[in-house]
Amino acid sequence: MEPIADAAITDAVGFSAGAVHAGIKKDGQSLDLCLIASDRPATAAGVFTRNKVRAAPVKLSEERLRSGRCQAVIVNAGNANACTGERGMADAERMTALAAARLGLSPRDVVVASTGVIGVHLPMEKIERGIAQIELSPTGGHEAARAIMTTDTRPKEAGARVRIGGQSVAVAGIAKGSGMIHPNMATMLSFVATDAAVAPSFLRRALAEAVGGSFNQMTVDGDTSTNDTLVVLANGAAGNSPLDGSDRDSRAFADALLQVSAELAKGVARDGEGATKFIEVLVDGAASVDDARRAAKAVVGSSLVKTAVYGADPNWGRVLCALGYSGAEVEERRVDLRIGDVWLMRGGEIQPFDRQAGVRALSGAEVRVAINLNLGSGRGIAWGCDLTEGYVEINGKYTT
């Protein structure tokens, strides 16, 4: 597997994308509507928010993906089309119908995603006009990545190439964060395209596995959104015999999908609202992988850990506190804790440390917390960001 430099979702053969400023975002210029399409039918799988309040596009797209097929995705930013009742459902359906008409497809081959403010009806006239104006291009991936942003400060794109059946296959995707970010799912929106041929049932399994080790291990603010959507399309342009999970090529593909998903998830964490630092928490020696993931996520999600990282304050007791309420099995007298290269606890005993070294370990743009619970062999990683005045400022004034 090799990462793709400057990856775009259109690096997967047969995919094209395009975006316009339809006027949904208020700034009067940013891209806010994009279309991603395959030039041939594709197998598809999706993962959606488990929030019981689900946006109209989530309901519609989940239903559509039951077929295991999808050829295009239409996405708007600036309005989530959530809590919008029956009119919201009709609007979501109309978005797919308009996109399908542009592409000469059936609406059933198109899924839709929306992100932005909740509880406001979509400006359908603008969207209709916008869809008519989008120009698809095989190099349009970067535009699509920008068009799905809301408070994100930069686009998130990742890709990898992997050898399957003797040839190079691309897996590439985009994601947007940046508030209301917490599993399950975690990112609000992400789309991944591959030119590999993949059987629908294996694509679902590989996606579930990838999400468990990537988006679901990332948190910005603990709020699971109404709109979380991750869709992967596999159009088979590479001409390989469809991967069904039974061989080494399938494993290689699943690894690439996990890798690309993890890169996108880290990108979202790094660009959390108001974030100045990226935090990675590694938990080793847990009683199970689930426990390790749960513990890592509790630590990276703790408001007190996040503020301590922001202030470069080596107040490590907060890490222990979060471990304790994570739900994972924890025995204080076994815990090892290290932040950067500074040891703070070994076997549950406080390690005297140089305060300046502790401050330094928390002062870079990337902070790494390593924990060994010394209870088993479970290992898990989680990603997040610090909590700053910037987060408060952005979210105190979002609709204004």
Tell me which residues are annotated as active site: 187
Q: Which member of 27, 52, 104, 365 binds its own copies (CB under 8 A)?
A: 52
Q: With respect to its own copies, which residue has the nearer C-beta, 30 or 307?
A: 307
Tell me the window of 40-48, 89-97, 143-151, 302-310 that interacts with its own copies (CB under 8 A).
302-310
For residues 130 and 35, is the Cβ–Cβ distance under 8 A?
no
User: What 3-state class would DSSP assign to 36?
Assistant: strand
For residues 344 and 395, is the Cβ–Cβ distance under 8 A?
no
- The first and second tokens of residue 113, run together, are 């995603």
Q: How remote is the C-alpha of 371 from its chain's centroid?
A: 24
DSSP state, residue 240: P
One-letter amino acid of 393: E
Binding flag, residue 90, its own copies (CB under 8 A): no
Q: With respect to its own copies, which residue has the nearer C-beta, 102 or 318?
A: 318
Tell me the window of 5-13, 27-35, 76-84, 243-251 that interacts with its own copies (CB under 8 A).
76-84
Shortest separation between residue 29's beta carbon and its own copies, angstroms: 23
Q: Which member of 6, 27, 28, 85 binds its own copies (CB under 8 A)?
A: 85
Tell me the window of 68-76, 77-85, 95-103, 207-215 that interacts with its own copies (CB under 8 A).
77-85
For residues 30 and 153, is the Cβ–Cβ distance under 8 A?
no
- The first and second tokens of residue 79, run together, are 């309005």
Q: With respect to its own copies, which residue has the nearer C-beta, 15 or 48?
A: 48
What interhelical angle do 289-301 and 303-310 show, nearest 10?
60
Q: Which member of 112, 118, 170, 292 binds its own copies (CB under 8 A)?
A: 118
For residues 80 and 54, is the Cβ–Cβ distance under 8 A?
no
Tell me the window of 37-45, 69-77, 222-230, 242-250 that interacts with its own copies (CB under 8 A).
222-230
Shortest separation between residue 320's beta carbon and its own copies, angstroms: 5
Shortest separation between residue 125's beta carbon and its own copies, angstroms: 19
Q: With respect to its own copies, which residue has the nearer C-beta, 143 or 386?
A: 386
Tell me the window of 201-209, 244-252, 283-291, 344-352 that interacts with its own copies (CB under 8 A).
344-352
One-letter amino acid of 237: A
Binding flag, residue 43, its own copies (CB under 8 A): no
Q: Which member of 16, 224, 235, 259 binds its own copies (CB under 8 A)?
A: 224
Select from 293, 302, 304, 275 the least CA-distant residue to 366.
Answer: 275
Binding flag, residue 123, its own copies (CB under 8 A): no
Q: With respect to its own copies, which residue has the nearer C-beta, 247 or 349?
A: 349
Task: Please name every residue paired with 366 in a beta bridge, in sequence order, or none if there are none.
Answer: 278
What's the per-residue H, E or C state across 111-133? EEEEEEECCCCCCHHHHHHHHHH
Which residues have C-beta within 8 Å of that of residue 210, sequence separation ≥ 6?
Answer: 254, 257, 258, 260, 261, 262
Q: Which member of 117, 287, 289, 357 binds its own copies (CB under 8 A)?
A: 117
Q: How far apart are alpha carbons 261 and 213 in whole angstroms? A: 8
What interhelical angle do 200-212 and 248-270 show, nearest 10?
40
Q: How many residues bind its own copies (CB under 8 A)?
A: 65
Binding flag, residue 226, its own copies (CB under 8 A): yes
Q: Which of residues 178-207 bind its own copies (CB under 8 A)?
A: 179-180
Q: Which member of 123, 222, 242, 376 binds its own copies (CB under 8 A)?
A: 222
Shortest separation between residue 8's beta carbon and its own copies, angstroms: 31
Q: How far is CA 301 from CA 32, 34, 37, 170, in A?
A: 29, 32, 36, 33
Binding flag, residue 101, its own copies (CB under 8 A): no
Binding flag, residue 216, its own copies (CB under 8 A): no
For residues 252 and 162, is the Cβ–Cβ distance under 8 A?
yes
Q: What is the CA radius of gyration of the chain?
A: 21
For residues 194 and 170, is the Cβ–Cβ distance under 8 A?
yes
Q: How remote is the C-alpha of 224 from its chain's centroid?
A: 12
Binding flag, residue 287, its own copies (CB under 8 A): no
DSSP state, residue 238: T
Shortest separation between residue 87's beta carbon and its own copies, angstroms: 9
Q: With respect to its own copies, which residue has the nearer C-beta, 107 or 116?
A: 116
Q: How far apart are alpha carbons 154 and 175 in whole angstroms? A: 10
Binding flag, residue 138, its own copies (CB under 8 A): no
| Interacting residues toward its own copies by CB under 8 A | 50-54, 80, 82-85, 117-121, 179-180, 221-226, 302-304, 307-308, 310-318, 320-325, 329-330, 332-333, 344-345, 348-350, 387-389, 391-400
